[in-house]
A and B are shown apart, each in its own frame.
Chain A
Amino acid sequence: MTSVVRWLLHWLGGHRLRVAVAVTLAAATLCAAIAMMGTAGDLISSAALQPATILLLWVPIVGVRFFGISRAVARYLERWMSHDVALRLAARLRGWVYRGIERHPSWLIGMRTSHLLDAILSDMEQLQDMLIRILLPATASALVSLGMGAWLAQVSAVAAFIYMVGVVLAGAALPMATHALTRRAQEEWRALREERTALADDALRGLEETLAYGMAPGRRERFREVCQRERRLAGRLGAVRGAAEGLNTVISLATVTGVLLAAVSAHAHGRLPGVMLAAIALATMASLEGWSAIGPAFAGWQEMYTSAQRVMACTPTQIDAAPGLQAEAEAFTGMSSRFIPAAAPSVETGLSRGTEPRASAADTTLLSIRHLYARYAPDEPWILRDISLDVRPGQKVAIVGETGSGKSTLLQVLLGFLPAARGQVRWLNQDVREWPESDLRTLVSLVPQQAYLFHHTLRQNLRLARPEATEEELWEALRVAQLDDFVRGLPEGLDTVVGEQGMRLSGGQRQRVALARVILHGSPVILCDEPTAGLDAEMERAFIEAFFAAARDKTVLWVTHRLTHVDRMDWVLVLHDGAVVEAGRHEELLAREERYARLWQLHREAAALQAAH
């Protein structure tokens, strides 16, 4: 409880003044209402006594007008201010949720991203409600009720006592009872909502499988059932909320009557002028108005609270502190936020980008891997074991091995996405963890196995790799990726929206967009994770020709399980079960007649077999 409050206070810290103003305005609204009703009661009672001249009534008449207008204006300003605070807070938190994930993507592991979407939508709404419907009005109402109680005490101690009992009932007992009664139902509801989100997410993400594997009827049934259970809970919560509202009406009316009776008794004993009776009754009623919405709102308290906790868990300070991420966090923050200008070598240094003669550049080691071990979690088996490799600028290195041999994991380590558990990975003689993220991304880029395309235009999807790219550069990249004819044939060309995850394009086209991105990015080092997996032989060949022509001066690490083109690479690394089993030039490896030679043989036989048909 306290941690959430502390967290909320921390985030509200920036809006301290606005919060104070909102509370003050809320209190002012209530005060104006009390004053208006009180004056009105006084006015009508005085009028009933038929004063000698109407002029005596002018003061209360003006008072009623004044307080009435003040109340309306104060209420307007209060609502505006409290919503403004809540919305500003929500907007800031939404941004921070993304920043947190961006800083620690591994925090997402095992998590549904759709639940994260829930966190920035539904949970954020709940958090706003917590602020607007409970915290701010309760603070204001408590202040005003205390003042009102003090005023009543001057009139009659009994009236003040009755009033305070009413306030405690409406402001504390009722909310607590409502909370206690609905807590379980709210928790159940939250669980149901999560299940509903999960069902919707699965059905949308895996729509093809859901339909093709006959899962649809079952899923439909389950979704309907969850909705029905949700409906029953909503009814139950509605009943409690309604009871709370009804009870609140009874409490406040009973309090007004009680206070009135006490006042009547005081009047009967001559301690209170008669004109005050109506004033007291009306003012009491007005002062209790603030509590009327708070009690029933507690039928949602548990949910608001849990939502606040969830949003809290998604914000950076909390992610930073999450257990298990500490060690890794160091590895990542070193890259993303801490800039180390002193040690960071410039990307251009020692790299041939076509300007320097290759011989001089060849002396520098671009990439050096020493006894690298890596795995995804401390309790999991090693994915990479004792890998060592040196790459000089401009070299083309093939990394071959069967699926699951750790090829893709190696690329993850080289990109700094996965920290090395043991050993070292150095780019330009600088540990990968010490590279400022932006510099490393300028140095190295990746063509992934499955390209992710954003629901944007083709142009935006490409520009992502280089925002300042000119139209010619875009087309040049498309040409290398063998995609220019296709894009030219599209009615909207580069402005075609590719659809959710690029679904408007075929698999091969998506893959080539990813390639075009990397070409456009123009980094001196390109890592390729089976870039031709979705291409047919003809296109693969055309692509490889174009790619290596464009990458003549670049360093390429080409992960593949197909041996096409491998014979033209400078160096071949054979991985098996996470370890390097062979390394050398194509001819050398063939001469050794071991694993690589066998793979090559198979590669040839596969085609020969077909030739025999």
Chain B
Amino acid sequence: MASRWPKLTRHEQVWLALASLGAALGSILVLPQAWWLTRVVDRAFLAHASVAQVSESVTVLAGIYLLRGGLVAFARWAAAEFAGRVQARLRSDLFEQLLALGPVTVRSRPSGEWLAWLGDGIDRMEAYLANYLPQSVSAVLTPLAIFAFAAAEDGWTALVLAITVPLLALLMVLVGMSAQAATNKQWQALERLSGHFLDVVRGLQTLRSFGRSHVQATTVEQMAERYRAATMKVLTLAFLSSLVMELFSMISIGLVAVSLGLRLVSGHMEFARAFVLLLLAPEFYQPIRMAGSQFHAARDGVAMLQRWEAVMQTEPPGLAEPSGGRTLPPSRRGYTIEFRHVTAVYPGTSTPVLQDVCFRVNRGQTLAILGPSGTGKSTLLAILLGFLRPVQGEVLIDGIPLHELSLAWWRDQLGYLPQQPTWFHGTLRDNVSLDAVALDEQVAAALRLARFDPALARLPAGLDTVLDGERIRLSGGEQQRLALARLILHNPPVVLLDEPTRALDLETEAALEETLLPWLRSRTALLVVHRLGLAMRADQVLVLEDGLVREIGSPKTLLEAGGRFASLYRNYHGDEVVRV
């Protein structure tokens, strides 16, 4: 649903009212201003008054100027306050919503688009919020006031003004109709440009390694060009509409002037009245024309508002924080996790990633999850993280459905090692502690336990080394160990690991397993693995295939059963031992 008017809080409404009032009063003051200016000219011109004789009127005029100036300033300020408040609210709400939507929704769009919305997009609402909305009141009031004055002074002038307004409005509507469509096209071009730009800059190394990076320059240029052309189309429409309105109002003013002039010549009208009406005629059209051009400038804001509303109305695919969510008594060894007939589907797709998955991990136990890539291993962890809600079935934590628990509390119990850890621009310490308060000794101890200390010794500034989060100069194995240090430092009772020993050499893996295993044993752990090292030492092994539980049990029983796990084991065994 496309709305043209944002829902406002009470405070915002007050600021908008103040801004509108200030603008309207300031604009209506044009009436007395024209009146007194006419007096000066009239006296000096026809009565040949000296400067001293018009000084009284000049003083009044000065007063009006000051008042007008003050009102203009006040209205601007109030409008800026209003716009600032709305923008701050929309922005932080959008940010919160992105956090609430989680990775499943957010990753379905290039992050360049999100960033463009959060930054530039909301900035562009300025014209809509600070100009268009507050001035729409004076766009109605000022012409009405001038019309009333004209009606009292001269019927013909009032008649011309009254006839031309509906025509002007019709013209505005005709040109304005295609404005939103053109603006939407411009926005699409902008989103494409920003999404693509960030994508290619982040993937520059890949492009270079195929010798394709320079080709992208042409693509970026084409997108920039397309955006330019779309913008120009929007602007041309806006300028055209101003032109049409200006010409039209000019003709109307001309009509007024001619009727006044004719009567002046024939002596049916005195100079002062004609002059004041002539001064006011452009002021009559000015607010309407202004509203017309601001209507065009405001399309940007409306486009953003529509996007904002669409995002805010998106249903999070994962769990939401329930009101009055429950918490469980603290337990250092974690909690019993049970999946009951869980089926999961990613939004926008129809094939389930997980089907009827059932298993139970008791408090303090370790479950290893195995299976070919793309069979839903990581999805299983995503469900526990609350990133994705099962379409069927239930996840129980100590017998309580996961969605009834306080999400913030539950996530505090979790530690998660993703397949590709993200690094932030900041010091090594910040990258390990992740906003948590930690002593240097604690960080150092975690790094030691994760076997990161040899790499640490190589870094020039130790814990204070500033990492380039997007181009981190650590090898895959070092990154993996640094990510483990994050986890260890946070000391969570429930641990979710997605391929913890990925990219590690055997020596490190063996050493790490020695330290990691006792650490894991003291908590509840789910490990996605593709090597059997950790799986062999887990309490239970779950083999997933095409989203279905193929087999589950202790490694020993599974080996003896001679199923899928046993054949994986034989392969592993054969690959690394037998063939020498």
Contacts of A465 in B (CB 8 A): 210, 212
Give the distance to chain A from B548, nearest Cβ to Cβ, in Å: 15
Q: Is B185 among interface residues, defined by CB-CB distance under 8 A? A: no
| B84 & A238 in contact (Cβ 8 Å cutoff) | yes
A88 CB-CB contact with B under 8 Å: yes
Residues 195-215 of A contacting B (Cβ, < 8 Å): 196-215
Provided the pairs A113-B201, A117-B115, A249-B69 are in contact, do residues A499 and B419 lie with their beta carbons within 8 angstroms?
Answer: no
Query: B332 within 8 Å of A by Cβ?
Result: no
With the chains together, A433 CA to B465 CA distance in Å?
31
Q: Are B261 and A407 in contact (CB under 8 A)?
A: no
User: Contact between A561 and B200 (Cβ–Cβ < 8 Å)?
Assistant: no
Please tell me if the beta carbons of B51 and A265 are within 8 angstroms of each other in the complex. yes
Any chain A CB within 8 A of the CB of B4? no
List residues 49-64 of chain B with CB under 8 A from any CB of chain A.
Answer: 49-51, 54, 58, 61-62
Which of B44, B49, B73, B209 has the most CB atoms of chain A within a 10 A radius of its CB? Answer: B209
Chain A 256-272, CB within 8 Å of chain B: the 1/0 string? 01001100110110000
Chain B residues within 8 Å of A206, by CB? 422-424
Q: A117-B194, A204-B106, A599-B506 are in contact. Are A76 and B242 (CB under 8 A)?
A: yes
Q: Name the one of B45, B111, B271 contacting A205, with C-beta atoms under 8 angstroms.
A: B111
The B525-580 residues at the A interface (CB cut-off 8 A) are 530-533, 536-537, 555-556, 568-569, 571-573, 575-577, 579-580
Cβ of B203 and Cβ of A234 under 8 Å apart?
no
**B116 contacts A491, C-beta separation under 8 Å:** no
Is the beta-carbon distance between A267 and B44 smaller than 8 angstroms?
yes
Q: A415 contacts B209, CB within 8 Å? A: yes
Question: Which of the segments B88-96, B135-143, B154-162, B169-177 contacts the partner chain?
Answer: B88-96
Q: Is the CB of B373 within 8 A of A438?
A: no
A230→B84 contact, CB < 8 A: yes
Is B87 close to A, CB under 8 A? yes
- Shortest B47–chain A CB gap in Å is 10
Q: Is the interface of A mostly helix, strand, loop or mixed?
A: helix
Q: CB distance B571 to A537 under 8 Å? A: yes
> Residues of A contacting B89 with CB < 8 Å?
227
Number of inter-chain CB pairs below 8 Å: 573
Would B418 and A209 count as touching, CB distance under 8 A?
A: yes
Interface code A84-98, partner B: CB below 8 Å = 1, 0 otherwise?
100110111011001
Q: Which residues between 108 and 123 of chain A lie within 8 Å of chain B, taking CB atoms?
A: 108-114, 116-118, 120-122
CA distance A308 to B382 in the complex (A): 44
Output the nearest chain A residue to B223 by Cβ-Cβ distance.
A94
Residue pair A122, B228 in contact (C-beta under 8 Å): no
CB of B119 within 8 A of CB of A122, answer yes
Q: Is A548 located at the chain interface by the 8 A CB criterion?
A: no
| B77 partner, pick from A238, A268, A563, A599, beta carbons under 8 A | A238
Q: Beyond A64-B257, A536-B372, A562-B505, is A75–B120 a contact (Cβ under 8 Å)? A: no
Chain B nearest CB from A612 CB (Å) reads 10
Taking the complex as formed, is B435 at the interface, i.e. its CB lies under 8 A from any CB of chain A?
yes
Question: Across the interface, do A109 and B468 meet the contact criterion of CB distance under 8 Å?
Answer: yes
In whole angstroms, how far apart are the Cα atoms of A497 and B124 in the complex? 30
Question: Is the CB of A457 closer than 8 A to any CB of chain B?
Answer: no
In contact, A231 and B503 (Cβ under 8 angstroms): no
Q: Are B377 and A246 in contact (CB under 8 A)?
A: no
Interface-central residue, B46, B242, B425, B508, by most chain A CB under 10 Å: B425
Q: Which of A120, A200, A449 contacts B503, CB < 8 Å?
A: A449
Q: Is the CB of A114 within 8 A of B198?
A: yes
A360 interface residue (CB < 8 Å to B)? no
B265 at the interface (CB under 8 A from A): yes
Q: Are A110 and B466 in contact (CB under 8 A)?
A: yes
Q: In the complex, how many angstroms separate the beta carbon of A160 from the nearest chain B beta carbon?
A: 17
Check if A102 sits within 8 Å of B204, measured CB to CB.
Answer: yes
A95 contacts across to B, CB distance below 8 A: 217, 220-221, 224
Q: Is the CB of A610 within 8 A of B195?
A: no
B510 to chain A, nearest CB (A): 6
Q: A117-B194, A204-B114, A564-B575 are in contact. Are A72 and B250 (CB under 8 A)?
A: yes
Contact check, B51 vs A268: say whether CB atoms are below 8 A apart.
yes
The residue from A75, A281, A296, A535 contacting B41, defined by CB atoms under 8 A apart:
A281
Taken together as a complex, chains A and B put the C-alpha atoms of A105 and B477 apart, in Å, by: 24
A302 at interface, CB cutoff 8 A: no
Task: State A44–B261 Cα separation when bound (angstroms).
Answer: 6
Q: How far is the CB of A337 from chain B (nearest CB, A)?
A: 9
The distance from the CB of A168 to the nearest CB of chain B, in whole angstroms, is 18
Asked if A14 is an interface residue, CB under 8 A from chain B, the answer is: no
For A17, the chain B residues whose CB sits under 8 A away are none
Q: How far is the CA of A158 from the CA of B473 in the complex (A)?
A: 72
Task: Determine which residue in B50, B85, B108, B505 has the highest number of CB atoms from chain A within 10 A of its CB, and name it.
Answer: B505
Contact call A102/B216, Cβ cutoff below 8 A: yes
How distant is the Cα of A232 from the Cα of B208 in the complex, in angstroms?
Answer: 44
**Is B325's beta carbon under 8 Å from chain A?**
no
Q: Separation in Å of the B526 CB from the closest CB of chain A?
A: 13
B178 within 8 A of A: no
Q: B476 near A: Cβ within 8 Å? A: yes
Given contacts A117-B197, A211-B411, whether A611 and B224 have CB atoms under 8 Å apart is: no
A242→B72 CA distance, assembly (Å): 7
A346 interfacial contact with B, CB 8 Å: no
A161 interface hit (Cβ, 8 Å): no
Residues of B within 8 A of A121 (CB): 116, 119-120, 190, 194
The size class of the interface chain A forms with chain B is 35 or more
**Which one of A54, A193, A211, A261 lies within 8 Å of B58 (CB-CB)?**
A261
* Inter-chain contact B572/A607, CB cutoff 8 Å: yes
Q: Which of A54, A101, A102 has the most CB of B within 10 A?
A: A102
In the complex, what distance in Å separates the CA atom of A64 from the CA atom of B108?
Answer: 59
Which chain A residues lie closer than 8 Å to B412 at the CB level?
Answer: 214
Question: Is A40 part of the contact surface with B, judged by Cβ < 8 Å?
Answer: yes
Q: How far is the CA of A537 from the CA of B506 in the complex (A)?
A: 14
Any chain B CB within 8 A of the CB of A404?
yes
Q: Mark A274-310, 1 if CB is under 8 A from B, else 0.
A: 1101100100000000000000100000000000000
Contact of B478 among A61, A261, A403 (CB under 8 A): A403
A102 pairs with B214, CB closer than 8 A: yes
B471 contacts A108, CB within 8 Å?
A: yes
A179 within 8 A of B: no
A567 to B580 Cα, complex, angstroms: 8
Task: Give the interface centre of A92, A95, A121, A467 by most chain B CB atoms within 10 Å.
Answer: A121
Give the CA-CA distance A530 to B501 in the complex, in Å.
13
Residues of B within 8 A of A450 (CB): 420, 476
Q: Is A341 an interface residue (CB 8 A)?
A: no
Q: Judge if A43 is at the interface, Cβ distance under 8 Å.
A: yes
Q: Which of A43, A213, A380 contacts B257 (CB 8 A)?
A: A43
Q: Judge whether A318 is part of the interface by a CB distance below 8 angstroms.
A: no
Residue of B nearest to A406 (CB): B475
A553 to nearest B CB, angstroms?
20
In the complex, chain A residues whose CB is within 8 Å of the CB of B372? 508, 536, 538-539
Q: Which of these, B95, B458, B480, contacts A381 with CB under 8 Å?
A: B458
B232 at the interface (CB under 8 A from A): yes
Q: Which of B233-241, B306-314, B356-364 binds A?
A: B233-241
Residue of B nearest to A67 (CB): B250
**Given A197-B115, A449-B503, do A403 and B476 touch, yes or no (CB 8 Å)?**
yes
Task: Say yes or no for B167: interface residue by CB 8 A criterion.
Answer: no
Complex interface: chain A residues within 8 A of B434 (CB): 209, 213, 215
B76 CB–A CB distance under 8 Å? yes
Q: Does A1 sit at the interface, judged by CB under 8 A?
A: no
A246 and B69 contacting across the interface, CB-CB below 8 Å:
yes
B424 touches A202 (CB 8 A): yes
Judge if B75 is at the interface, Cβ distance under 8 Å: yes
Residues of B within 8 A of A475 (CB): none
Residues of A contacting B571 with CB < 8 Å? 537-538, 541
Does B404 touch A at the CB level, under 8 Å? no
Q: Which 6 A-B pairs have the closest CB atoms?
A: A238-B80, A403-B477, A508-B373, A441-B211, A242-B76, A561-B505
Given A44-B261, A257-B58, A277-B45, list of 5 further CB < 8 A pairs? Answer: A61-B258, A204-B111, A246-B71, A454-B203, A464-B207
| Sampled A-B contacts (9; CB under 8 Å) | A61-B261, A79-B242, A223-B91, A230-B88, A231-B84, A246-B73, A264-B40, A441-B211, A533-B502
